[in-house]
Structure 1
Amino acid sequence: MQTDLHAPGITLFLCGDVMTGRGIDQILPHPGKPQLFESCVRSALVYVELARESSGSVPQPVDFPYIWGNALDALRRAAPDVRIINLETAITASEQAWPGKGIHYRMHPANLPCISAAGIDCCVLANNHVLDWGYQGLKETLESLHRAGIATAGAGRDATAAAAPAQLAVPGKGRVLVFAWATEDSGVPPEWGAGTSRPGVNFLAGLTARSLKTIARQVAAVKRAGDLVVASLHWGANWGFDVSAQQRSFAHGLIESAAVDVVHGHSSHHVKGIEVYRGKPILYGCGDFLNDYEGIGGHAQCRGDLALMYFPTLAQGRLTRLAMSATQTRHFRANYAPEPGVRWLMETLNREGRPFGVQVARQGQHDLLLEVSGAGT
């Protein structure tokens, strides 16, 4: 695989879940009402205090770029053509909390510039939190993002809109099409699925041959020569490094029969293995990129505080380079991971990537570079 720093083609920025609600919303310039409906926590301000107890000072209020921390430097260095995140937060002032749901994330619409501060081009919304504040919350989320010039994928006013890809033009290079789906095993209630006249998410009923045929038709209806197709999937449980045979088979099917070029998986709270199949990258789980979980114990062995910024470069539909920058969430911002964290991420990716024929190597102080054996390409 080519490792030229100036490899031709289109470079993407991808990451896992970006959660700017709850505690993070409270430290931004325009915090919404902190009321929560969790079994043990009734105010989002509790999460701010937990972070302070765990990590020390968390300033309040902060400016909009604050939450990105060192990630802004990594973005500047990588200079990706398109920046895509899974936004796991409703952008709304709605009071209509989805009944019976234990966790509700929202960020006040006036805090939307914190997303624009990182130059994000597309927010994937097919996940288990975009409808936390009801249909009004989803409507306000879509309107807020579109008004800011940020494309969306995976949710919409009806099934047609939810299934439609974001179409992102890269001048002189082509287009990036972002399709997005969410599955029930990631915590998405089936009733959140968009319908003929009902808003919702682009719900994937199962990782089946029938689903692949539907996706193949949808991609074929839009994809033109030279387009780069990203399939963004909110799938699987929160914890555990295993990649199921069903997930792997489905990811391969997306590439083989649906002409997908990049599989962007998320939902797991930690990074998972990477595979390169027929020259296409499969990110099985990108982890949590940003959240307000500091001070919440459990699953320490999975290191949910550590994350990666993924920068795949593809030319003529094949991966030529996959660089990654290692980060750690501290003080409600994405900081460069310390040396032990970088080593842990490298060792974890190498352990989980061994069955897929991939390994990673250090590329500078904070960065990793994917290496693929002949079998992986």
Structure 2
Amino acid sequence: MVSLCLTGDLMLGRLVNEALLRYGPAYPFGNVLDEFCRADLRLVNLECVISDRGRPFSRWEKAFHFRAHPQALRALQLARIDCVVLANNHVLDYEEEAFLQMLELLQGAHIPYVGAGRNLLEARRPVLLPTQSGPVGVVAFTDNEPGWKAGPHTPGTHYLPVAPESLPVLKEQIGQARAQGARWVVVSAHWGPNMRLRPPPHFRAFAHALIEAGADVFHGHSAHVFQGLEVYRGKPILYDCGEFVDDYAVDPVLRNDWGLLYRVELEEKRIGKVELMPLYIDNCQVNLATGPTWEAIAERMQMLSAELGTPVSREGTRLWVTC
């Protein structure tokens, strides 16, 4: 059995960057660091560029620009991050110069990345993460910032609209990961608008189609708030994992400072269960939620998942979904 930790967006720029430089690279992860280290693999969406170069993107209007100092690489290493998803709407916030430096820094730190690259071929390529039980393949795409789509000879993200015409591309990538030896395949998607608690029907149909195409886990993010978990054909669909670390203003109703750490058990012939650990973000740091906050997160997750036809089990302070 392989345990895979999945999170929402990891944003290490702005105030988080300042805290990281002031208090040390372990600071943003709080007491979640111990949970990370208990897993076999850790996959996160890196919602910023890591670089000390570039200038804020200005070719069209963009409200937010996120950049972390290269010392943030040490934070990723301390958290034992095995792969970062770069298919999102912030990796080119400081234009191509900073983006290309980040790719070099990640390679130098031996941290694989997926969903973006120096050209379209690299942006589309699956990544295989080795484990003692066999490789886990990761495929990633985003429907954000179509202007950042990688070209045959230009850097960028693996952009795809959430539409039927995109499915053959992703099916090909899933097949490519299998052909390269992947025992399990995760599809990671930075998709949809912000601050939505529920996936729209066409997103559900799209995720279902990817499970039917051979994906074992769907890992969604982008909404800033977590959405429900659905088990479809015995495979978990995490429509949106919400936030993991950030410095964002908090909506008092939607509570984008609430999150979850998802630990997926990849068994030999099936997905066993998904452990759900409620999280709370405060002062640029994530920690395991406790007390009334834990209860509120658990209740929301149970409600949202029940709407998708999936029960969330609870025993004491344990939450899980059986696949």
Per-residue deviation, residues 76-104 of structure 1 (Å, max 9, x unmatched): 4xx22110000001001123211032110
State the alpha-carbon separation in 1 of the partners of residues 77 and 176 from structure 2: 30
2:266 is the counterpart of 1:288: no
Q: Which residue of 1 aligns with 2:36?
A: 75
2:177 is the counterpart of 1:217: no
Pick from 309, 317, 322 the counterpart of residue 274 of structure 2.
Answer: 322
Pick from 136, 151, 160 the counterpart of residue 195 of structure 1.
Answer: 151
Q: Which residue of 2 aligns with 1:22?
A: 14
Structure 2 matches for 1:141-152, cutoff 5 A? Answer: 141-152=102-113
Q: Which residue of 1 aligns with 2:95?
A: 134
State the alpha-carbon separation in 1 of the partners of residues 92 and 103 from structure 2: 11
Pick from 67, 83, 88 the counterpart of residue 47 of structure 2.
Answer: 88
State the alpha-carbon separation in 2 of the partners of residues 221 and 289 from structure 1: 30
State the alpha-carbon separation in 2 of the partners of residues 22 and 318 from structure 1: 41
Task: Work out which of the two has the higher radius of gyration on C-alpha atoms and give 1 or 2.
Answer: 1
Matched residue SS, 1:174 = coil
| Structure 1, 65-74 or 278-287: larger mean CA deviation | 65-74
Q: Which residue of 2 aligns with 1:170?
A: 131
State the alpha-carbon separation in 2 of the partners of residues 71 and 359 from structure 1: 25
State the alpha-carbon separation in 2 of the partners of residues 337 and 73 from structure 1: 14
State the alpha-carbon separation in 1 of the partners of residues 47 and 33 from structure 2: 20
Identity, % of aligned positions? 36
Q: CA RMSD in A?
A: 1.5
- Structure 1 pair 229–144 and aligned structure 2 pair: CA distance change class (3 A): same
Matched residue SS, 2:312 = strand
2:286 is the counterpart of 1:334: yes
Per-residue deviation, residues 284-331 of structure 1 (Å, max 9, x unmatched): 0100110012xx35x321111111110011223522111011111112
Matched residue SS, 1:195 = coil
Query: How high is the TM-score relative to the length of structure 2?
Result: 0.95
Contact 2:51 2:98 in 1 (8 A): yes
Contact 1:153 1:178 in 2 (8 A): yes
Q: Which residue of 1 aligns with 2:142?
A: 182
Q: CA deviation at 1:181?
A: 0.3
Can you give the 5+ residue segments of structure 1 that lack an aligned partner in the other structure? 1-8, 30-60, 372-376
Per-residue deviation, residues 58-82 of structure 1 (Å, max 9, x unmatched): xxx1021111111012224xx2211
Structure 1 letter corresponding to 2:56: A
2:234 is the counterpart of 1:260: no
Contact 1:236 1:267 in 2 (8 A): yes
Structure 1 letter corresponding to 2:206: F
Q: Which residue of 2 aligns with 1:345?
A: 297
Contact 2:138 2:186 in 1 (8 A): yes
- Structure 1 pair 140–369 and aligned structure 2 pair: CA distance change class (3 A): same
Size of the aligned set, in residue pairs, is 320
Query: How high is the TM-score relative to the length of structure 1?
Result: 0.82
Matched residue SS, 1:84 = strand
Contact 2:117 2:155 in 1 (8 A): yes
Q: Which residue of 1 aligns with 2:261?
A: 309
Contact 2:128 2:177 in 1 (8 A): no
Contact 1:226 1:316 in 2 (8 A): no
Q: Which residue of 1 aligns with 2:227?
A: 272
Q: Which residue of 2 aligns with 1:57?
A: none
Q: CA deviation at 1:276?
A: 0.5
Q: CA deviation at 1:364?
A: 4.6
Q: CA deviation at 1:363?
A: 4.3
